Amino acid sequence: MNITVKSPANIAFIKYWGQKNTECTLPYHDSFSMNLSGCFVEIDCQFSTNLKKHELLIQGYKEDYPNVALPEQYQRLADYYHKIKKYFNQSTDVGFTMTSRISFPMKAGIASSAAFFSAVAMAFATYYGKSTHTKELSRIARLSGSGSATRSIPDGFVWWYAGNDHESSFAESIAPPDYWDIRDIVIITSRDHKQISSDKGHEQASTSPFFKKRVSYIKQKTIPQVKKAFSDKDFTRFGQLIEHEALYMHHIMMTQKTPLYYWNEKTISLLRHIAALRDNGIEAYATIDAGHNIHCICEAKNEEVIVSSLDQLAGIEDYIVNKPTFGTRSINLY
Ligand code: DP6
């Protein structure tokens, strides 16, 4: 059986950092994101009981994007396969060859694992003839260990309910892609891979003396405030809240037992550039996942002026303009 799946990366407006249960990848609090139209992965999967091996090939859409699978990515995929096999109560092994095409740099704070593992979740569930209903698929995606993969499954603007167990932790679309015409301009200052993976980082999140405070702040303040700004389409308030939230997460990262500094010098200068745009009346806000690359969030009407401001800056390798988009889709099955 051959299956082709396309899945987007997503940018978190309310970030997930830290796991209360590593086996099921359960977060401490809800998170909220938008799927990205220009950052996606497509995988072609060939499943066969005659195949003895599990193979993975990663190809970049652009020449300078990665085109080989790293050993740890292969291992993560193999671990996920074994988990899924158990989850679906399968006794016999199936071999597979996966060819994955990625439209953006991997392991650089643009949620490549989320895009990849959400696509893989759809491929496995389809192969085993299991439900590909969004809610269930979002649970299955989470079992890959990439928590953010759960949010790439539904369409548009997506809420991940933290829950208390496997059943109650799932993602759901709270608004379709055309709800709000906003952009995420991903500014790529380097294709370097991050040194420490997110899963290693999650392990130490609770060692930050500020972690407990963050969890209660998110539950009591950030969630109701972001929900209100989103439903009012109050972009100024929304932008302020999400930039603050990103900085709060990095504050936790930097104060973990082994501090995690995902930023580089260009990250700081871009944060300053975005603040300067605001000083000049152009509404732009920054958010940063576990990596050095910046996501600049703006309304559609400001996209052009922001992009041309980037053209004048030194040290920018590329940028990808993203609109809100659909979630994981099976695009071919034969
Ligand atoms: C910082 O465990 O989802 O992006 O394994 O790289 O997919 P990967 O990361 P994951 O943690 C990433 C968390 C975050 C914030 C977020 O997306 O909510």
**Which residue among 7, 11, 13, 16 is best mutated to probe the pocket of ligand 1, counting the most ligand atoms within 8 A of its Cβ?**
16
Contact 190, 317 (CB under 8 A): yes
Residue with tokens 């930097």: 254
End-to-end CA distance of the chain: 6
Q: Which residue in 267, 266, 300 sits closest to 282, CA to CA? A: 300
What residues are in contact with ligand 1 under a 6 Å CB criterion? 12, 15-17, 31, 113-114, 146-148, 198-199, 202, 289-290
* Residue nearest atom 8 of ligand 1, based on CA coordinates: 146
SS3 20: strand
CA 98 to chain centre: 20
Give residue 62's pLDDT: 63
Give the CA dihedral 211, 215, 216, 218, nearest 10 degrees: 130
DSSP code per residue over 62-118 = STTS--S--HHHHHHHHHHHHHHHHHTT--S--EEEEEEEESS-SSSSS-HHHHHHH
**In angstroms, rounded to a whole number, what is the distance separating the alpha carbons of residues 236 and 244?**
12
SS3 15: coil
Residues 6+ apart with CB under 8 A from 185: 295, 296, 297, 298, 303, 306, 307, 310, 319, 320, 321, 322
* Nearest atom, ligand 1, residue 249 CA: 1
Give the distance (Å) from ligand 1 centre to CA of residue 309.
29
Give the distance (Å) from ligand 1 centre to CA of residue 16.
7
Contact 115, 150 (CB under 8 A): no
Give the distance (Å) from ligand 1 centre to CA of residue 11.
9
* HSE-up of residue 146 (Cα within 13 Å, Cβ side): 31
**In angstroms, rounded to a whole number, what is the distance separating the alpha carbons of residues 61 and 44?**
14
Give the distance (Å) from ligand 1 centre to CA of residue 198.
6
Tokens standing for 148? 């953010």
Give the distance (Å) from ligand 1 centre to CA of residue 305.
30
* Residue nearest atom 11 of ligand 1, based on CA coordinates: 198
* CA 121, 19, 110, 145 torsion-angle sign: negative
Strands 54-60 and 95-102 turn out to be parallel
Give the distance (Å) from ligand 1 centre to CA of residue 252.
14
Over its length of 334 residues, how does the chain's per-residue pLDDT go in tens digits? 899 999 999 999 999 999 999 999 999 999 999 999 999 999 999 998 887 777 777 776 665 555 666 667 788 888 999 999 999 999 888 888 888 888 988 777 788 899 999 999 999 999 999 988 999 999 999 999 999 999 999 999 999 999 999 999 999 999 999 999 999 999 998 777 777 888 889 999 999 999 999 999 999 999 999 999 999 999 999 999 999 999 999 999 999 999 999 999 999 999 999 999 999 999 999 999 999 999 999 999 999 999 999 988 988 988 999 999 999 999 875 4
Tokens standing for 87? 């989850």
Q: What is the DSSP letter of 194?
A: P
Residues 6+ apart with CB under 8 A from 310: 185, 187, 316, 319
Contact 108, 263 (CB under 8 A): no
**In angstroms, rounded to a whole number, what is the distance separating the alpha carbons of residues 84 and 29?**
25
**In angstroms, rounded to a whole number, what is the distance separating the alpha carbons of residues 195 and 184?**
24
* Residue nearest atom 14 of ligand 1, based on CA coordinates: 289
Give residue 105's pLDDT: 84
